[in-house]
């Protein structure tokens, strides 16, 4: 199953030009089996997310991209009450509730944001980002080797052209956020650059 683990839609992510249902249909047309909505510092309301899932032609998962003092974090399974600009605070709650944190686009802007703290706070990094350069993705994939879990892949889509550039391949079928979290926790996945 191919899932894009890093997507943004409007109006929740002001920088995105994509409507949620448009993103789902584009992803399906480009061969993806699922998308994960990772809006900037915002969570989806449960009823709105369920309505989108019912209308979408592929699986729709939900996480968040947090802006923190250690960079952007892709957080899976984190309750919205734990959203914070402090990576230390986010990591403490993630450990308590079983959420998984990945450092997003860790080689962007020439900064390799890996310190003792990043290795302690994050289970891994986004090793393939469809909006980053080849060299940035090579550097990020190298960084992933120092973490507990493999790196993940996502397009970081904000526009139609960016949809489906990268994804994460899972062996089994995922149908819920709980399934996604369990599949990530298992480490049985692979980040892929698709286009």
The CATH number linked to 88 is: 3.20.20.140
Give per-residue pLDDT as tens, 13-47: 778 778 999 999 999 999 999 999 999 999 999 99
State the first-to-last Cα distance of the chain, in angstroms, to the nearest integer.
17
Query: Average of pLDDT values for 110-117?
Result: 62
Query: Average of pLDDT values for 133-146?
Result: 89
Q: In what order do the strands lie in the sheet with 189-193?
A: 152-154, 124-129, 100-103, 71-76, 59-68, 34-40, 2-7, 166-170, 189-193
For the cut 60, the answer to whether the pLDDT of residue 110 exceeds it is no
The domain tally of the chain equals 1
pLDDT bin (cut points 50, 70, 90) of residue 156 is very high
Range of the domain at 43: 2-193
Query: How high is the pLDDT of residue 114?
Result: 65
| Dist. CA 41–CA 140, nearest whole Å | 23
């Amino acid at each position: 199953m191919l899932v894009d683990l890093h997507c943004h839609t409007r109006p929740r992510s002001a920088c995105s030009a994509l409507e949620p249902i448009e993103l789902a249909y584009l992803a399906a047309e480009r061969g993806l089996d699922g998308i994960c909505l990772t809006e900037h510092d915002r969570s989806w309301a449960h009823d709105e997310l369920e309505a989108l899932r019912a209308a979408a032609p592929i699986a729709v998962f939900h996480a968040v991209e947090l802006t923190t003092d250690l960079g952007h974090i892709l957080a899976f399974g984190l309750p919205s009450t734990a959203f914070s600009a402090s990576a230390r605070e986010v990591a403490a709650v993630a450990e308590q509730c079983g959420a998984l944190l990945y450092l997003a686009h860790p080689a962007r802007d020439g900064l390799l944001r890996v310190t003792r703290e990043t290795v302690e706070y994050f289970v891994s990094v986004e090793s393939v980002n469809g909006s980053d350069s080849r060299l940035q993705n090579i550097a990020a994939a190298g960084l992933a080797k120092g973490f507990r879990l493999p790196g993940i892949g996502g397009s970081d889509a904000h526009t139609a052209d960016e949809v489906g550039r990268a994804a994460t391949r899972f062996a089994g079928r995922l149908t819920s956020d709980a399934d996604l979290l369990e599949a990530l926790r298992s480490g049985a996945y692979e980040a892929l650059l698709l286009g």
